[in-house]
């Protein structure tokens, strides 16, 4: 299309801004209409069709978000670029989630970059194809859910800005995957991406891991060590479970976010770094602030650009897409034959609530693919938690409402170890233990049932403790990796360790 066929709308109460864009765009042969108020912008929308609109967030009689909504309602194909100051970047991010193409900050420093942005806005279809290609290359599955499409559009634009990002969402929704995607399409993509879980360490270890330490700064500090902030210099640092950081650590994080400076543990020389921080949490940080559990100033520093990943149950229409993606990944990784889910199995998976979100779905697909014998994965191959509960026949009731069990009959025990690859063998051993225990009981002589319950509890707690110890030993004390092996969160692992009375260090 010839330049004179393109039309721009510039909405800003500063006439100098309108003049700047008029001069820049008219020199390229484009048609330009300017407006200083929301009312003038509305009138222009009724008279002209526009390809691109540049809209200031703050207007004397309206605001940029309202103008954005009006443009998208009246002229959906018109791309909107929001003009903002740094103090209103959060609103600009909200604008992107409402459909804005991008935002620019005043004052406009790089004119060439501005010109490239305007050209991209005119060729938005080509831009969308590039973004889709980048997502496929990275393995980032988005789907067609409107909330996710809006989220990824915002992430794509935010990635290009040098601002802190806060990602919120339930456990297993893919917060780290989104953080890696943001890094991969940012200007720091050729620099390190380091992921760090704040909930996996005690306060003392956390400070040392984040900021490093000097030799002799504490017992065991036999040499100087760089912290993860130094290791991530010029790159991106992903801080997961940021809500787990203690008040003292929060103060240090605030300082490094504001100044880029920190002291190593036991150090006296300031270290300076250039790191883009992406923080994540499954907690409601705003609520934590209100309860004085999280620093308000740190929250606002992190909450410059906030992204919320909806749980899987709110995007059920994309579950088949995720299932097929993870199944193809399993077939390629494990080099197994072609498989597919039966219609009944797929329907069951779509109806499941997925409390563990994407992580639970991926694990379920991997388990079903591994256990299925033929090319079709059926309902029988799915874990028991996915299958519908069988309707049991109602037993006749006794005089006090209890079910009557005929002499010699036994209630059918539910199968245990459903997620274990040797579940049949383990169930057989469990049944043998049950028979042996019952055969050697002489109830006529009396039986201490409460003591028996306590013995069983002690045995189970001991088994839990040994499982935790084995996982920690396998991962050389790394609680994050141990939690992954056990299929639980690091926070849950710490809870179980405390309950079992174990005290294991972390690396």
Higher pLDDT, 493 or 43: 43
Cis peptide before 323 (omega within 30 of 0): no
How far is the CA of 204 from the CAs of 6, 98, 265, 376, 493, in angstroms?
A: 60, 43, 9, 52, 19
- Considering the domain architecture, whether residues 206 and 319 belong to the same structural domain is answered as no
Whether residue 82 is contained in a domain is answered as yes
CATH number for the domain including 20? Answer: 3.40.50.2300
Q: What is the pLDDT of residue 503?
A: 42
- Considering the domain architecture, whether residues 184 and 302 belong to the same structural domain is answered as yes
Whether residue 465 is contained in a domain is answered as yes
How far is the CA of 433 from the CAs of 384, 426, 430, 445, 447, in angstroms?
A: 23, 11, 5, 21, 18
4-58 confidence digits (pLDDT tens): 689 999 999 999 999 999 999 999 999 999 999 999 999 999 999 999 999 999 9
Answer whether 464's CB lies under 8 Å from 496's CB: yes
Domain count, the chain: 4
Weakest-pLDDT range from 330-344, 407-421, 442-456: 407-421
Higher pLDDT, 270 or 505: 270
* Cα–Cα distance for residue pair 176/179, rounded to 1 Å: 5
CATH number for the domain including 255? Answer: 3.40.50.300
Whether residue 153 is contained in a domain is answered as yes
- The tokens of 102 are what? 């991008």
Sign of the torsion angle spanned by Cα atoms 474, 475, 481, 482: positive
Whether residue 412 is contained in a domain is answered as no
- The tokens of 24 are what? 């820049």
How far is the CA of 315 from the CAs of 142, 322, 328, 348, 416, in angstroms?
A: 10, 11, 21, 15, 32
Whether residue 157 is contained in a domain is answered as yes
90-116 confidence digits (pLDDT tens): 787 788 878 889 888 888 878 888 998
Q: What is the mean pLDDT of residues 391-412?
A: 41
- The tokens of 46 are what? 């009724």
Answer whether 175's CB lies under 8 Å from 307's CB: no
- Considering the domain architecture, whether residues 36 and 171 belong to the same structural domain is answered as no
- Considering the domain architecture, whether residues 318 and 301 belong to the same structural domain is answered as no
Weakest-pLDDT range from 265-274, 423-432, 477-486: 423-432
Q: What is the pLDDT of residue 21?
A: 94
Q: Please, which pLDDT band fits residue 447 given cuts at 50, 70 and 90?
A: confident
**What does DSSP say about strands 7-11 and 31-35: parallel, antiparallel, or unpaired?**
parallel
Query: What backbone phi and psi angles, to 5 degrees, belong to 60?
Result: -65, -30
3-class DSSP state of 292: coil
Residue span of the structural domain in which 185 resides: 141-308
Q: Does the pLDDT of residue 59 top 80, yes or no?
A: yes
């Amino acid at each position: 299309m010839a330049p004179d066929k393109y039309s721009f709308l510039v909405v800003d109460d500063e006439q100098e801004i309108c003049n700047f864009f008029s001069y820049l765009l008219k020199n390229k042969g484009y048609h330009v209409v300017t407006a200083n108020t929301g009312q003038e912008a509305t009138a222009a929308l009724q008279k002209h069709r526009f390809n691109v609109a540049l809209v200031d967030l703050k207007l004397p009689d309206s605001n940029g978000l309202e103008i954005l909504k009006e443009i998208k309602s009246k002229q959906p194909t018109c791309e909107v670029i929001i003009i903002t100051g740094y103090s209103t970047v959060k609103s600009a991010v909200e604008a992107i989630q409402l459909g804005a193409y991008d935002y620019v900050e005043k004052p406009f420093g790089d004119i060439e970059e501005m010109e490239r942005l305007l050209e991209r806005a005119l060729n938005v279809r080509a831009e969308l194809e590039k973004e889709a290609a980048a997502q496929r290359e990275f393995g980032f599955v988005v789907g067609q859910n409107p909330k996710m499409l809006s989220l990824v559009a915002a992430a794509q634009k935010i990635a290009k800005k040098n601002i802190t990002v806060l990602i919120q969402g339930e456990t297993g929704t893919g917060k780290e995957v989104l953080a890696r995607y943001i890094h991969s399409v940012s200007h720091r993509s050729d620099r390190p991406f380091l992921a760090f879980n704040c909930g996996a360490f005690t306060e003392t270890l956390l400070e040392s891991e984040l900021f490093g330490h000097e030799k002799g700064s504490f017992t065991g500090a036999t040499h100087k060590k760089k912290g993860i902030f130094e290791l991530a210099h010029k790159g991106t640092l992903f801080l997961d479970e940021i809500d787990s950081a203690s008040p003292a650590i929060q103060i240090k994080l605030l300082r490094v976010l504001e100044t880029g400076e920190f002291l190593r543990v036991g150090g006296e020389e300031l270290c300076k770094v250039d790191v883009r921080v992406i923080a994540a949490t499954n907690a409601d940080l705003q609520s934590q602030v209100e309860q004085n559990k999280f620093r308000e100033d740190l929250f606002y520093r992190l909450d410059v650009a906030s992204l919320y990943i909806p749980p899987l149950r709110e995007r059920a229409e994309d579950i088949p897409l995720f299932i097929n993606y993870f199944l193809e990944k399993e077939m390629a990784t494990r080099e197994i034959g072609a498989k597919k889910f039966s219609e009944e199995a797929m329907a069951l998976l779509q109806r499941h609530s997925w409390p563990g979100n994407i992580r639970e779905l991926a694990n379920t697909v991997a388990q079903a693919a591994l256990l299925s014998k033929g090319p079709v994965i059926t309902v029988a191959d799915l874990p028991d938690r996915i299958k519908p509960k069988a309707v049991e026949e109602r037993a006749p009731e006794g005089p006090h409402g209890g079910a009557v069990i005929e002499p010699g009959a036994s209630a059918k025990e539910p199968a245990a170890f459903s997620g274990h690859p040797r579940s049949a063998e383990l169930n057989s051993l469990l049944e043998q233990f049950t028979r042996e225990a019952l055969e050697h009981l002489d109830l006529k002589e009396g039986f201490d049932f409460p003591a028996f319950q306590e013995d069983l509890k002690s045995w189970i707690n001991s088994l839990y403790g040994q499982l935790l110890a084995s996982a920690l030993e396998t991962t050389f004390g790394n609680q994050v990796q141990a939690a992954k092996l056990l299929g639980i969160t690091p926070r849950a692992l710490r809870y179980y360790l405390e309950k079992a009375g174990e005290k294991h260090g972390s690396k």
